[in-house]
């Protein structure tokens, strides 16, 4: 059976599944129950230093986007960092770590951007016996307005400076948590590396307004008639997170910098995808908030079975897809596919026809008896018919072999060519 033991920047855990810093890791009782359920590690809900008190709203903190079956697709929150006293958190961390020495216990931190504040809190964290710190440069609401969280994460120079202080005043591994609310995520990751970070973790939540109450004319969640933007997370943000993880993994300036993947991980498959793109482990919040701590059991057994089936180890999986992420101009423009419809599976709904006829390439014909057929001479292989078809595997894409006639172009499929060398690229002709 595949070995799921993980060693992330020297922090050992029995599996690569950690709970992300958030309500599930807010206090001792939660974290103990999480460990009993099988989580390999937790990142404790972000601690701040003494200072202006952290006061949360007393109205709803969350806005939700549902799928058609009321499944939670995304959660938007306006919660702040922990509002529990620092000394209580520190005492609880110490007690949990003592009883669970084999689990990873990382402490998320957000303190004002001055050297003394960081120096002071790091000493207190070290005394708890925790395994490492995660710097919260990501939360987009509430604390950012006080010059912390994403206000730091959006300025690479600040990231580098604070990371340097953390490495100077502590021996603990330091993970820098990045905000997605930035144009090019490679810049803050590079800054973290320059500052001496042991790893980066991403993503924190995405700036968002999930919906507007059309009676109150105010964003939801609504607090006494007003709303503010919040941070979006859950399955809906996974595509954004995967791309950002891949961007960092394949950037030569951050090559080898370990990545903890976060954002919408709900199943073992999500975790495997993050790992294949270069994440050394994953962190989870929304899935635990939606389904409870035991979701980790499915993640553990699913990942183990997957690795066994593929006959690869976890380290073989990590980064295995990274070399296959490339820039558009390197895609093979001679690779040719055509849609094909399985008439036995077709339920004659006509969605493929409507989508293709109205918005794509008029490449599906509707014959007598609502028989739908692909017109190979019009099909550009955009995949929209596959995407809108309600029956899985009813419409699939068939790859044409090199040399096979493409009815659309009237020419046989040619061997590999990318845009850089493609005859239609004026730059490549100029280079000839």
Ligand X SMILES: Cc1cc2nc3c(=O)[nH]c(=O)nc-3n(C[C@H](O)[C@H](O)[C@H](O)COP(=O)(O)O)c2cc1C
Rounded Cα–Cα distance for residues 42 and 44 (Å)? 6
Rounded Cα–Cα distance for residues 185 and 191 (Å)? 10
Q: Check residue 234 for interaction with ligand X (CB under 6 A).
A: yes
Shortest Å distance, C-beta 69 to ligand X: 19
Q: Cβ neighbours of residue 215 under 8 Å, at least 6 residues apart?
A: none
> For ligand X, which stretch binds (CB under 6 A), given 2-10, 135-143, 182-190, 314-322?
135-143
- Cα torsion for 294, 300, 302, 304, to the nearest 10°? -160
Rounded Cα–Cα distance for residues 175 and 249 (Å)? 15
Q: Check residue 265 for interaction with ligand X (CB under 6 A).
A: yes
Q: Check residue 81 for interaction with ligand X (CB under 6 A).
A: yes
Beta bridge partners of 367: 371
> For ligand X, which stretch binds (CB under 6 A), given 63-71, 161-169, 233-241, 339-347?
233-241
Q: Check residue 23 for interaction with ligand X (CB under 6 A).
A: yes
Q: How many CB atoms lie within 10 A of CB 186?
A: 17
113, 139, 285, 379: the active-site residue? 139
Q: Is 226 in contact with 286 (CB distance < 8 Å)?
A: no
Nearer to ligand X, 21 or 336 (CB): 21
Residue with the two structure tokens 């995304």:
74
Beta bridge partners of 374: 364
Q: How many CB atoms lie within 10 A of CB 350?
A: 14
Residues 11, 79, 148, 295: which binds ligand X (CB under 6 A)? 79
> For ligand X, which stretch binds (CB under 6 A), given 133-141, 249-257, 331-339, 407-415?
133-141
> For ligand X, which stretch binds (CB under 6 A), given 211-219, 256-264, 384-392, 400-408?
256-264
Shortest Å distance, C-beta 291 to ligand X: 11
Q: Check residue 264 for interaction with ligand X (CB under 6 A).
A: yes
Q: Check residue 21 for interaction with ligand X (CB under 6 A).
A: yes
Q: Check residue 75 for interaction with ligand X (CB under 6 A).
A: yes
Shortest Å distance, C-beta 189 to ligand X: 16
Q: Check residue 262 for interaction with ligand X (CB under 6 A).
A: yes
Rounded Cα–Cα distance for residues 245 and 249 (Å)? 6
Rounded Cα–Cα distance for residues 139 and 191 (Å)? 18
> Between 40 and 59, how does the x/- string for binding to ligand X read (CB under 6 A)?
-----xx-------------
SS3 41: strand
DSSP 8-state symbol, 415: S
Q: Check residue 108 for interaction with ligand X (CB under 6 A).
A: yes
Beta bridge partners of 11: 8
Q: Cβ neighbours of residue 120 under 8 Å, at least 6 residues apart?
A: 49
Q: How many CB atoms lie within 10 A of CB 154?
A: 20
139 is catalytic: yes
Rounded Cα–Cα distance for residues 219 and 141 (Å)? 15
Nearer to ligand X, 14 or 234 (CB): 234
Rounded Cα–Cα distance for residues 264 and 240 (Å)? 10
> Between 162 and 181, how does the x/- string for binding to ligand X read (CB under 6 A)?
---------------x----
Q: Check residue 197 for interaction with ligand X (CB under 6 A).
A: no
Q: How many CB atoms lie within 10 A of CB 274?
A: 28
Q: Check residue 210 for interaction with ligand X (CB under 6 A).
A: no
Q: Check residue 286 for interaction with ligand X (CB under 6 A).
A: yes
Shortest Å distance, C-beta 149 to ligand X: 8
Residue with the two structure tokens 């008439």:
343
Q: Is 389 in contact with 340 (CB distance < 8 Å)?
A: no
Q: Check residue 273 for interaction with ligand X (CB under 6 A).
A: no
Q: Check residue 27 for interaction with ligand X (CB under 6 A).
A: no
> For ligand X, which stretch binds (CB under 6 A), given 132-140, 180-188, 215-223, 316-324?
132-140
Residues in region 318-377 near ligand X by CB under 6 A? none
Q: Check residue 24 for interaction with ligand X (CB under 6 A).
A: no
Q: Check residue 153 for interaction with ligand X (CB under 6 A).
A: no
Q: Applying CB under 6 A, which residues contact ligand X?
A: 20-23, 45-46, 75, 77, 79, 81, 108, 136, 138-139, 177, 204-205, 233-234, 237, 262-265, 284-287
| Residues acting as catalytic residues | 139
């Amino acid at each position: 059976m595949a070995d799921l033991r993980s060693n992330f920047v020297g922090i050992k855990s029995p599996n690569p599944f950690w709970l992300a810093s958030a309500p599930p890791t807010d206090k001792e009782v939660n974290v103990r129950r999480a460990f009993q359920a099988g989580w390999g590690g937790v990142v404790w809900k972000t601690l701040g230093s003494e200072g202006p008190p952290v006061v949360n709203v007393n109205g709803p903190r969350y806005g939700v986007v549902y799928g058609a079956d009321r499944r939670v697709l995304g959660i938007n929150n306006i919660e702040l960092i922990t509002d529990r006293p620092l000394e209580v958190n520190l005492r609880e961390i110490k007690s949990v770590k003592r009883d669970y020495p084999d689990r990873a216990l990382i402490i998320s931190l957000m303190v004002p951007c001055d050297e003394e504040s960081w120096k002071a809190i790091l000493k207190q964290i070290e005394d708890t016996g925790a395994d490492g710190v995660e710097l919260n440069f990501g939360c987009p609401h509430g604390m950012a307005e006080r010059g912390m969280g994403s206000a730091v994460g959006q300025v690479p120079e600040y990231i580098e400076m604070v990371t340097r202080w953390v490495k100077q005043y502590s021996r603990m591994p330091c993970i820098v948590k990045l905000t997605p609310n930035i144009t090019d995520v490679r810049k803050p990751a590079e800054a973290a590396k320059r500052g001496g970070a042991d790893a980066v973790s991403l993503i924190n939540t995405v700036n968002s307004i999930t919906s507007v109450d059309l009676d109150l004319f105010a964003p939801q969640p609504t607090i006494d008639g007003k709303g503010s933007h919040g941070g979006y997370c859950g399955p809906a943000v996974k595509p954004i997170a995967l791309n950002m993880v891949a961007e960092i993994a394949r950037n030569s300036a951050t090559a080898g910098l370990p990545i903890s993947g976060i954002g919408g991980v709900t199943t073992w498959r999500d975790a495997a995808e993050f790992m294949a793109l270069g994440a050394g482990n994953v962190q989870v919040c929304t899935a635990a908030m939606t389904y409870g701590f035991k979701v980790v059991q499915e993640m553990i057994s699913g990942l183990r079975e997957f690795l066994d089936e593929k006959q690869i180890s976890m380290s073989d999986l990590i980064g295995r897809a990274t070399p296959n992420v490339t820039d558009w101009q390197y895609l093979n423009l001679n690779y040719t596919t055509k849609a094909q419809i399985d008439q036995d599976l077709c339920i004659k709904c006509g969605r493929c026809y409507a989508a293709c006829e109205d918005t794509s390439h008029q490449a599906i014909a509707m014959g007598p008896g609502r028989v739908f057929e692909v017109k190979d001479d019009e099909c550009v292989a955009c995949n929209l018919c596959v995407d809108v078809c309600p029956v899985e595997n009813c419409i699939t894409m068939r790859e044409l072999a090199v040399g096979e006639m493409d009815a659309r172009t009237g020419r046989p499929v040619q061997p590999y060519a990318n845009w850089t060398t493609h005859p239609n690229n004026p730059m490549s002709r100029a280079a000839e």
